Amino acid sequence: MSRRWADVAELVATQGLKGRLTVRPVRGLPFLLSEGLRVHFVPPTIDGPREAKVKEATHAGGHDWLVAFSGVKNLDVAEKLVGSHVIVERADLPEGFEEGASYATERIVGFEVEDETKGYVGEIVEVREMPTQYLIVVETEEGEQVLIPFVEDFIVDIDEAEGVIYMDLPAGLVDMSEAEEG
């Protein structure tokens, strides 16, 4: 049975006083929000909107887009949504919309992971798709498997030519993951 909803973007910042938000696609997806598309925000906020329609979307450069949503009319409302994810019914998205994301994650198997503080962590042996993000399974030199969220906040750089992903992992994440696995 296929899932009904797809996590397609994250609301990363406010932009201006009129409630526009900076939106970034997640998991290597293309930008999928179009005018009139009904979206839901997760996790839901207590006093902010839980759903809206896309009113306008403008490319801001790189992976970022500026989006205006119905019901998000000012900075106060927009601030409540920062950090939320945008989910959409799969039926409202183009067929095959996830193919690019799958390719992007499959091709990093075999890459090495280097942490800015810890140094060499290990080699990626698997990529697991979770509801809101991907997890990379990294095998250490000791043969342990470490689960690391593959999120933009942790990624410093990806050197495709050398097959290395440079990350800035939170203190204790790798050690905690090793303890859970062991």
Do you find a cis peptide bond into 30, omega within 30 degrees of 0? no
Q: Is the pTM of this model over 0.85?
A: no
Under the banding of pLDDT at 50, 70 and 90, the label for residue 181 is very low
Yes or no: say if 147 and 137 are a contact pair by the CB < 8 Å rule.
yes
| DSSP states of 65-131 | EEEEETT--SHHHHHHHTT-EEEEEGGGS-TTTTHHHHHHHHTTTT-EEEETTTEEEEEEEEEEE-S
Per-residue pLDDT at 100 exceeds 60: no
Tell me what pLDDT residue 101 has: 57
